[in-house]
Amino acid sequence: MTSQPPSPPSQPEQPAADVPTCYRHPDRETWVRCQRCDRPICPDCMRDAAVGFQCPECVAEGNRGIRQARSAFGGSVVRTPVVTYAILVINLLVFGAQYLTGERVTGEFAMWPAGVAVGDQYYRLITAAFLHGGVMHILFNSWALYAVGPYLERAFGHVRYTALYLLSALGGSVLGLWFDPLNQPTVGASGAVFGLFGAVFVVGRRLNIDVRGIGLVIVLNLVFTFLLSGISWTGHIGGLITGSLLAAALAHAPSRNRALWQVLAIAGAVVLLAVLVMVRVSAITGAV
C-alpha cells in the first residue's frame, strides 16, 4: 500500500470585492463617479464637465443657477428674426393668391365695417392686414417691415413682437370700424407698420437713442396719409396709437415681475380693443 501525501489545508473563501453600480441604473457596473455628488454613474448618465463628468441631476441643478440671457425688454434672445420673415412670406403668398383669384380673396378677407358688424365676420379685423391693393402697396409695406421689424423683434423677443404687430394691425382696423363708411373696404399691413414705427420711436427714447430719423419718417408718412387719396387714415392712426402705447407699456414695465406686467399690458390691450369692437358693432346693428 502506497502512502498519500497529506492534503494542504483548505483556504477560507475570499469575499468578492464590492463593485459599484450606477445610481440610476443599478444593473450596470461602473467605476466613474460624479465630480459634484460622488455618486457612481454609467456612460449613459455621464455629462461632460470642466473636470471629469457629472450626473444629470447635478447638471440640471447647476443650470438653474445660471441666469439666462434676455433681450433688452425681457424677451428671449433673438438671433434670427423669424417672425418678421414669416410675416413677409405670408404677405407675399397672400398677395399671390389675390393676383390669381382676382377679387375673390380680397372680398372675402378685407376689412369692411358692415361685414364685421352685420355679418359677424370679425376675422376681417386681422386678415385685412395681410392683404394689399397693388404692387407698390405691398412693396412699401414689405420694405418698411424689413427695415424696422428685425430691430424690434430683437428688442422684445419673438412673442412680445408678434403681439405688438398683430395688436397694431387690430388697432388700425378698430379705428376704421368706428370712422370708415360702412361699405368701404380697406386692406393692407400699413396699420401694423405704423404701429412698428411708433414702437421704434418709443424704444429709441427709452434707450436714449437719437429718434429724429424715425420721427421724420412718421411725420412724412402722416402727411402723405392725409394728402393722397385712397389711403386709410384710420388704419394708419389706429395702428400708430396702438403700437406706440403698447410698446411704451412693454418697454417701461417694472424690472421686478416684468414678464407679468407685460402680459397684463398685452391682455389689457386685447380687452380694450375687444370692448371697442363690441360697442361699435352694437351701435351699427342697432341703427340698421
Q: Which candidate in 236, 252, 255, 282 is catalytic?
A: 236
Quote the pTM value: 0.77
Torsion angle of C-alpha atoms 215, 133, 232, 146, degrees rounded to 10: -20
Q: Where does 94-287 sit in CATH, by number? A: 1.20.1540.10
Give the phi and the psi of residue 122 in degrees, each rounded to 5: -70, -20
Domain ranges of the chain: 19-59, 94-287
Cα 40 to Cα 19, 27, 55, distances in angstroms: 10, 12, 9
Exposure string (b/e) for 106-124, b if CB count within 10 Å is 16 or more?
beebbbbbbbbbeeebbeb
Query: Does residue 210 register a pLDDT over 50?
Result: yes
Average pLDDT for the chain: 88
Least confident of 4-8, 20-24, 97-101: 4-8
Per the annotation, the verdict on 252 as an active-site residue is no
Least confident of 57-66, 200-209, 216-225, 269-278: 57-66
Query: Does residue 131 register a pLDDT over 80?
Result: yes
Per the annotation, the verdict on 190 as an active-site residue is yes
Q: Which candidate in 168, 173, 190, 232 is catalytic?
A: 190
Tens digits of residue pLDDT in 62-115: 766 555 567 778 778 888 999 999 999 999 999 999 999 888 999 999 999 999
